[in-house]
Structure 1
Amino acid sequence: MIRIKDIPQVALRTALFALLKDGQTCDVYGDVPERAALPYITLGAMTFRPVGNKTAVIWQATAGIEVWADGNQKQEMNDILNDICVLFSYYGADLEIGGYHIIGTELESVETWPESVTGYHGTVTVIFTLQKGKVQQ
Protein backbone atom coordinates (compact mmCIF):
# COMPACT_ATOMS: atom_id res chain seq x y z
CA MET A 1 0.00 0.00 0.00
CA ILE A 2 1.30 3.45 -0.90
CA ARG A 3 1.47 6.06 1.84
CA ILE A 4 -0.93 8.94 1.51
CA LYS A 5 0.54 12.32 2.40
CA ASP A 6 -2.20 14.64 1.21
CA ILE A 7 -5.80 14.75 0.08
CA PRO A 8 -6.40 17.19 -2.82
CA GLN A 9 -9.60 18.58 -1.29
CA VAL A 10 -8.60 22.25 -1.08
CA ALA A 11 -6.98 22.22 -4.54
CA LEU A 12 -10.03 20.61 -6.16
CA ARG A 13 -12.46 22.93 -4.38
CA THR A 14 -10.40 25.96 -5.49
CA ALA A 15 -10.36 24.76 -9.13
CA LEU A 16 -14.12 24.05 -9.13
CA PHE A 17 -14.87 27.44 -7.62
CA ALA A 18 -12.74 29.22 -10.25
CA LEU A 19 -14.36 27.30 -13.14
CA LEU A 20 -17.85 28.10 -11.89
CA LYS A 21 -17.03 31.80 -11.28
CA ASP A 22 -15.61 32.14 -14.80
CA GLY A 23 -18.34 30.09 -16.51
CA GLN A 24 -21.55 31.27 -14.82
CA THR A 25 -23.44 34.54 -14.74
CA CYS A 26 -25.05 34.00 -11.31
CA ASP A 27 -23.11 34.37 -8.07
CA VAL A 28 -20.96 31.53 -6.73
CA TYR A 29 -20.35 31.49 -2.98
CA GLY A 30 -18.06 29.69 -0.58
CA ASP A 31 -19.85 31.32 2.35
CA VAL A 32 -23.28 32.66 1.45
CA PRO A 33 -23.88 36.24 2.63
CA GLU A 34 -26.94 36.75 4.83
CA ARG A 35 -28.99 38.58 2.17
CA ALA A 36 -27.67 36.88 -0.97
CA ALA A 37 -29.88 37.30 -4.03
CA LEU A 38 -31.22 34.10 -5.58
CA PRO A 39 -30.33 32.20 -7.70
CA TYR A 40 -26.80 31.34 -6.64
CA ILE A 41 -24.36 28.42 -6.65
CA THR A 42 -22.47 26.84 -3.77
CA LEU A 43 -20.06 23.93 -3.57
CA GLY A 44 -21.64 21.11 -1.62
CA ALA A 45 -20.37 17.87 -0.16
CA MET A 46 -17.16 16.28 -1.40
CA THR A 47 -15.97 12.76 -0.80
CA PHE A 48 -12.51 11.32 -1.49
CA ARG A 49 -11.76 7.63 -1.83
CA PRO A 50 -8.20 6.34 -2.34
CA VAL A 51 -8.03 4.02 -5.36
CA GLY A 52 -4.25 4.00 -5.90
CA ASN A 53 -1.81 1.13 -5.89
CA LYS A 54 1.80 0.54 -4.77
CA THR A 55 3.22 2.96 -7.33
CA ALA A 56 0.57 5.69 -7.73
CA VAL A 57 -1.49 7.94 -5.46
CA ILE A 58 -4.95 8.10 -7.02
CA TRP A 59 -8.13 9.55 -5.55
CA GLN A 60 -11.69 9.26 -6.75
CA ALA A 61 -13.38 12.51 -5.71
CA THR A 62 -17.12 13.13 -5.82
CA ALA A 63 -18.18 16.79 -5.78
CA GLY A 64 -21.66 18.27 -5.43
CA ILE A 65 -22.43 21.62 -7.02
CA GLU A 66 -25.58 23.14 -5.48
CA VAL A 67 -27.97 25.61 -7.12
CA TRP A 68 -30.45 27.55 -4.99
CA ALA A 69 -33.44 29.47 -6.41
CA ASP A 70 -36.65 31.04 -5.19
CA GLY A 71 -40.16 29.79 -5.87
CA ASN A 72 -40.43 31.69 -9.17
CA GLN A 73 -37.06 30.60 -10.56
CA LYS A 74 -37.54 26.90 -11.31
CA GLN A 75 -36.76 27.32 -15.03
CA GLU A 76 -33.78 29.53 -14.24
CA MET A 77 -32.45 26.90 -11.83
CA ASN A 78 -32.83 24.19 -14.47
CA ASP A 79 -31.00 26.37 -17.01
CA ILE A 80 -28.14 26.91 -14.54
CA LEU A 81 -27.91 23.16 -13.85
CA ASN A 82 -27.75 22.53 -17.60
CA ASP A 83 -25.03 25.16 -18.01
CA ILE A 84 -22.99 23.56 -15.21
CA CYS A 85 -23.21 20.17 -16.96
CA VAL A 86 -22.05 21.71 -20.24
CA LEU A 87 -19.22 23.54 -18.44
CA PHE A 88 -17.93 20.35 -16.85
CA SER A 89 -18.35 18.36 -20.07
CA TYR A 90 -16.09 20.81 -21.90
CA TYR A 91 -13.60 21.90 -19.23
CA GLY A 92 -13.80 19.44 -16.31
CA ALA A 93 -10.91 17.27 -17.48
CA ASP A 94 -8.68 20.34 -17.98
CA LEU A 95 -8.86 21.71 -14.44
CA GLU A 96 -5.53 22.36 -12.75
CA ILE A 97 -5.41 20.66 -9.37
CA GLY A 98 -2.12 21.50 -7.63
CA GLY A 99 0.20 18.47 -7.87
CA TYR A 100 -2.49 16.23 -9.39
CA HIS A 101 -3.69 15.37 -12.88
CA ILE A 102 -7.26 14.54 -13.78
CA ILE A 103 -7.33 11.12 -15.41
CA GLY A 104 -11.12 10.81 -15.50
CA THR A 105 -14.24 12.99 -15.24
CA GLU A 106 -17.84 11.83 -15.15
CA LEU A 107 -21.14 13.65 -14.66
CA GLU A 108 -22.85 11.27 -12.25
CA SER A 109 -26.25 12.86 -11.66
CA VAL A 110 -28.48 15.92 -11.67
CA GLU A 111 -31.19 16.22 -9.02
CA THR A 112 -33.84 18.87 -8.34
CA TRP A 113 -36.46 19.24 -5.62
CA PRO A 114 -38.64 21.86 -3.91
CA GLU A 115 -36.87 23.48 -0.97
CA SER A 116 -38.95 24.65 2.00
CA VAL A 117 -36.75 27.66 2.81
CA THR A 118 -35.73 29.09 -0.58
CA GLY A 119 -38.05 27.58 -3.20
CA TYR A 120 -35.96 25.20 -5.32
CA HIS A 121 -32.69 23.36 -4.93
CA GLY A 122 -30.67 21.40 -7.48
CA THR A 123 -27.43 19.45 -7.42
CA VAL A 124 -24.97 18.34 -10.08
CA THR A 125 -22.69 15.53 -8.93
CA VAL A 126 -19.34 15.18 -10.71
CA ILE A 127 -16.79 12.38 -10.19
CA PHE A 128 -13.09 13.10 -10.73
CA THR A 129 -10.24 10.59 -10.76
CA LEU A 130 -7.06 12.40 -9.72
CA GLN A 131 -3.51 11.05 -9.89
CA LYS A 132 -0.65 12.64 -7.99
CA GLY A 133 2.34 13.76 -10.03
CA LYS A 134 2.91 13.18 -13.71
CA VAL A 135 0.69 10.72 -15.51
CA GLN A 136 2.61 7.97 -17.34
CA GLN A 137 1.41 7.55 -20.93
Structure 2
Amino acid sequence: VEMNEKARQKRKTDEDILQRLEQMQLAEDLAAQREQYLKHKAESTDSYKKALDAQLKVRPPQLPDKEPDGEVFGKNDMNSEKMAERRSRAHNLFQEQQSLVEQKKRDVILAKLAEQQREDEMIKRARNDL
Protein backbone atom coordinates (compact mmCIF):
# COMPACT_ATOMS: atom_id res chain seq x y z
CA VAL A 1 0.00 0.00 0.00
CA GLU A 2 2.85 2.36 0.86
CA MET A 3 4.49 1.57 -2.44
CA ASN A 4 1.35 2.41 -4.31
CA GLU A 5 1.14 5.73 -2.49
CA LYS A 6 4.80 6.47 -3.19
CA ALA A 7 4.30 5.50 -6.82
CA ARG A 8 1.21 7.73 -7.01
CA GLN A 9 3.04 10.61 -5.40
CA LYS A 10 5.98 10.12 -7.72
CA ARG A 11 3.67 10.01 -10.73
CA LYS A 12 1.88 13.09 -9.46
CA THR A 13 5.14 14.99 -8.96
CA ASP A 14 6.34 13.82 -12.39
CA GLU A 15 3.09 15.02 -13.95
CA ASP A 16 3.38 18.33 -12.11
CA ILE A 17 6.95 18.74 -13.31
CA LEU A 18 5.91 17.88 -16.88
CA GLN A 19 3.02 20.36 -16.70
CA ARG A 20 5.35 23.07 -15.40
CA LEU A 21 7.84 22.30 -18.17
CA GLU A 22 5.04 22.45 -20.72
CA GLN A 23 3.82 25.75 -19.29
CA MET A 24 7.35 27.12 -19.36
CA GLN A 25 7.76 26.04 -22.98
CA LEU A 26 4.44 27.60 -23.89
CA ALA A 27 5.43 30.81 -22.10
CA GLU A 28 8.76 30.83 -23.95
CA ASP A 29 7.01 30.21 -27.28
CA LEU A 30 4.57 33.02 -26.57
CA ALA A 31 7.42 35.31 -25.59
CA ALA A 32 9.30 34.40 -28.79
CA GLN A 33 6.19 35.01 -30.89
CA ARG A 34 5.59 38.34 -29.17
CA GLU A 35 9.22 39.32 -29.73
CA GLN A 36 8.97 38.32 -33.41
CA TYR A 37 5.74 40.33 -33.76
CA LEU A 38 7.29 43.42 -32.16
CA LYS A 39 10.40 43.06 -34.33
CA HIS A 40 8.28 42.77 -37.49
CA LYS A 41 6.19 45.75 -36.41
CA ALA A 42 9.31 47.85 -35.80
CA GLU A 43 10.73 46.85 -39.20
CA SER A 44 7.52 47.74 -41.01
CA THR A 45 7.35 51.07 -39.15
CA ASP A 46 10.94 51.82 -40.16
CA SER A 47 10.30 50.93 -43.80
CA TYR A 48 7.17 53.10 -43.81
CA LYS A 49 9.13 55.98 -42.30
CA LYS A 50 11.88 55.58 -44.91
CA ALA A 51 9.30 55.59 -47.70
CA LEU A 52 7.73 58.78 -46.35
CA ASP A 53 11.16 60.42 -46.01
CA ALA A 54 11.97 59.46 -49.60
CA GLN A 55 8.69 60.99 -50.77
CA LEU A 56 9.49 64.20 -48.94
CA LYS A 57 12.99 64.36 -50.44
CA VAL A 58 11.76 63.77 -53.98
CA ARG A 59 8.81 66.10 -53.64
CA PRO A 60 7.65 67.61 -56.94
CA PRO A 61 7.87 71.38 -57.31
CA GLN A 62 4.87 73.44 -56.38
CA LEU A 63 2.28 74.20 -59.02
CA PRO A 64 2.84 77.42 -60.96
CA ASP A 65 0.76 80.44 -60.12
CA LYS A 66 -2.61 80.43 -61.77
CA GLU A 67 -3.25 82.66 -64.73
CA PRO A 68 -6.57 84.34 -65.33
CA ASP A 69 -8.85 82.50 -67.71
CA GLY A 70 -9.41 83.98 -71.10
CA GLU A 71 -12.67 84.24 -72.95
CA VAL A 72 -13.54 80.63 -73.62
CA PHE A 73 -17.21 79.92 -72.98
CA GLY A 74 -20.02 81.57 -71.17
CA LYS A 75 -21.06 85.16 -71.02
CA ASN A 76 -17.69 86.51 -72.21
CA ASP A 77 -17.11 84.24 -75.19
CA MET A 78 -19.08 86.42 -77.65
CA ASN A 79 -18.49 90.06 -78.31
CA SER A 80 -20.44 92.15 -80.81
CA GLU A 81 -17.99 91.53 -83.68
CA LYS A 82 -18.14 87.77 -83.23
CA MET A 83 -21.92 87.85 -83.01
CA ALA A 84 -22.16 89.93 -86.22
CA GLU A 85 -19.80 87.54 -88.01
CA ARG A 86 -21.80 84.55 -86.81
CA ARG A 87 -25.06 86.18 -87.97
CA SER A 88 -23.65 86.97 -91.41
CA ARG A 89 -22.35 83.40 -91.83
CA ALA A 90 -25.74 82.02 -90.80
CA HIS A 91 -27.50 84.39 -93.24
CA ASN A 92 -25.16 83.40 -96.08
CA LEU A 93 -25.69 79.73 -95.35
CA PHE A 94 -29.46 80.23 -95.31
CA GLN A 95 -29.38 82.03 -98.67
CA GLU A 96 -27.21 79.31 -100.23
CA GLN A 97 -29.55 76.61 -98.99
CA GLN A 98 -32.59 78.52 -100.20
CA SER A 99 -31.11 79.06 -103.68
CA LEU A 100 -30.20 75.36 -103.83
CA VAL A 101 -33.79 74.38 -103.03
CA GLU A 102 -35.14 76.82 -105.64
CA GLN A 103 -32.72 75.45 -108.26
CA LYS A 104 -33.85 71.87 -107.55
CA LYS A 105 -37.50 72.91 -107.89
CA ARG A 106 -36.70 74.61 -111.24
CA ASP A 107 -34.90 71.49 -112.45
CA VAL A 108 -37.89 69.31 -111.53
CA ILE A 109 -40.32 71.67 -113.30
CA LEU A 110 -38.10 71.83 -116.41
CA ALA A 111 -37.82 68.04 -116.46
CA LYS A 112 -41.62 67.74 -116.30
CA LEU A 113 -42.03 70.30 -119.11
CA ALA A 114 -39.53 68.44 -121.29
CA GLU A 115 -41.38 65.18 -120.62
CA GLN A 116 -44.72 66.80 -121.52
CA GLN A 117 -43.25 68.21 -124.74
CA ARG A 118 -41.97 64.77 -125.73
CA GLU A 119 -45.36 63.25 -125.01
CA ASP A 120 -47.10 65.97 -127.06
CA GLU A 121 -44.74 65.33 -130.00
CA MET A 122 -45.39 61.58 -129.80
CA ILE A 123 -49.15 62.17 -129.77
CA LYS A 124 -48.88 64.54 -132.80
CA ARG A 125 -46.85 61.93 -134.72
CA ALA A 126 -49.33 59.25 -133.84
CA ARG A 127 -52.22 61.44 -135.15
CA ASN A 128 -50.34 62.29 -138.33
CA ASP A 129 -49.55 58.63 -138.96
CA LEU A 130 -53.22 57.68 -138.69
TM bracket (short chain): under 0.3
Higher relative contact order at CA 8 Å, sep ≥6: structure 1 or structure 2?
Answer: 1
**TM-score normalised to the size of structure 2?**
0.19
Q: Which has the larger radius of gyration?
A: 2
Structure number with higher strand proportion: 1
Structure number with higher helix proportion: 2
